[in-house]
């Protein structure tokens, strides 16, 4: 193991991080996504530092293949944008760069600074960035060029001991960002790590904070849960710690074994490497709560509209795109033996506004109408 040193304000040399070599961490360059490796090498060639960070490093350490390879760098968004023609700067609270490839999008973030108050769009050093991370196993930085793992907070030992440890006080972290409540149980389910007693108590104590989270963020977190391959266990955790009622109240109040059976099937398909679309995930989590349309509804052609409304109500207040819910209804109809296509369930399309209508050509004036004829 190597040591990274820094200096205090008084100039004293102090240890700030452990640097683990390939013999210790076991992560090989060939295990890194080829496009992520190209991005890191280009950033390094341009004189910047760049690392694989977060969940990808954690997953590699426990023998899982990461779904995403996020990258952190000291290059600023505009500097990254100049290096990659296929990139786009996104975000307002904190600017990120998405680099687009044929089958994936790689997210590149600049090291975050220790900004005061609510100011989020401040850049800093790697040492600053570490202090902005939520859990110790998400604060590891891997350089595939040097094959070295940088650890400022003891996250490497936490992974080896299967520990979940928050880097932010528990009475602060879940209030600061309620979505961390969901991520905590998701980490426990996907890694197999045990939740410490103090975190369990905090999850239940601060579960009501989820009511303050943006619906759009909760919607995306639900889709991530369903795509994780561990959705059954995550739903059970969310129930145990009083979280589900703040995410999908109908499902929380009407849980049944059919729901968990459906989630189990979904997890099995994802675990077997099957590509699962978002509409199938929505269908999997709602099918246990849907009522087959009556013969009268089918004859009057209102069946699709009614089941669509019912499916939306099951996952309310979450708001996945209507087109995905519509496709989920088609999957449900197929299961119960009804042939259906997506009708126009949102009413007629709005008419063109008047300013888009074709204007009539102006009438030519006759000689007698011209100003010269008045003189």
Residue 35: partners with Cβ closer than 8 Å, 6 or more residues away: 99, 101, 104, 106
Pair 57, 155: CB distance under 8 Å: no
Catalytic residue among 33, 59, 70, 151: 70
- Other CB atoms within a 10 A radius of the CB of residue 142 amount to 26
Q: Is there a catalytic annotation at residue 242?
A: no
Residue 266 is encoded by which pair of tokens? 């979904």
- Give the SS3 label for residue 31: helix
Q: How many CB atoms are located within 10 Å of the residue 231 CB?
A: 25
> How remote is the C-alpha of 59 from its chain's centroid?
16
Q: Is residue 354 flagged as an active site residue?
A: no
Nearest alpha-carbon partner for 279 in 214, 227, 244, 229: 227
Q: Which of 68, 128, 157, 242 is catalytic?
A: 68
Clarify whether 70 is annotated catalytic.
yes
Instruction: Catalogue the E-assigned strands of 26-155.
Output: 50-53, 71-73, 87-90, 96-100, 105-110, 140-143, 148-151
Burial-class residue 206 by CB neighbours within 10 Å (0-12, 13-18, 19+).
buried
- Among the options 33, 59, 129, 134, which is catalytic? 134
Q: How far apart are CA 213 and CA 227, in angstroms?
A: 21
- Residue 313 DSSP label: H
**Could you list the active site residues?**
68, 70, 134
């Amino acid at each position: 193991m190597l040591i990274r040193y820094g200096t205090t304000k008084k100039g004293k040399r102090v240890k700030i991080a452990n640097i683990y070599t390939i013999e210790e961490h076991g992560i090989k360059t060939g295990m890194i996504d080829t496009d992520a490796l190209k991005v890191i090498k280009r950033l390094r060639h341009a004189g910047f530092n760049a690392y694989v960070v977060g969940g990808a490093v954690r997953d590699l350490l426990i023998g899982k293949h990461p779904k995403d390879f996020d990258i952190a760098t000291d290059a600023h968004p505009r500097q990254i944008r100049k290096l990659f023609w296929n990139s786009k700067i996104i975000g307002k609270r904190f600017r990120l760069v998405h680099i687009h490839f044929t089958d994936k999008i790689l997210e590149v973030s600049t090291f975050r600074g220790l900004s005061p108050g609510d100011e989020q769009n401040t850049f800093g050093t790697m040492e600053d960035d570490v202090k902005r991370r939520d859990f110790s196993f998400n604060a590891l930085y891997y350089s595939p060029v040097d094959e070295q793992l940088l650890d400022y907070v003891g996250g490497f030992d936490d992974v080896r001991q299967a520990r979940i440890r928050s880097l932010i006080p528990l009475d602060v972290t879940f209030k600061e960002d309620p979505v961390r409540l969901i991520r905590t149980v998701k980490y426990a389910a996907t890694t197999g790590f045990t939740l410490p007693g103090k975190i369990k108590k905090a999850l239940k104590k601060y579960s009501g904070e989820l009511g303050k989270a943006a619906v759009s963020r909760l919607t995306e977190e639900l889709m991530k849960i369903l795509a994780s391959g561990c959705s059954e266990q995550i739903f059970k955790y969310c129930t145990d710690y009083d979280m589900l009622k703040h995410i999908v109240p109908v499902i929380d109040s009407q849980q049944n074994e059919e729901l968990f059976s459906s989630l189990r099937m979904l997890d099995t398909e994802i675990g077997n490497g099957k590509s699962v679309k978002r509409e199938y995930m929505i269908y999997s989590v709602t099918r246990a709560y849907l009522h087959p349309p009556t013969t009268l509804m089918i004859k009057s052609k209102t069946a699709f509209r009614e089941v669509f409304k019912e499916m939306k109500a099951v996952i309310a207040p979450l708001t996945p795109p209507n087109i995905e819910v519509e496709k989920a209804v088609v999957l449900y109809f197929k299961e119960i033996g009804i042939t259906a296509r997506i009708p126009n369930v949102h009413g007629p399309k709005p008419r063109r506004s008047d300013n888009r209508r074709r204007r009539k050509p102006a009438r030519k004036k006759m000689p007698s109408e011209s100003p010269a004829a008045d003189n």
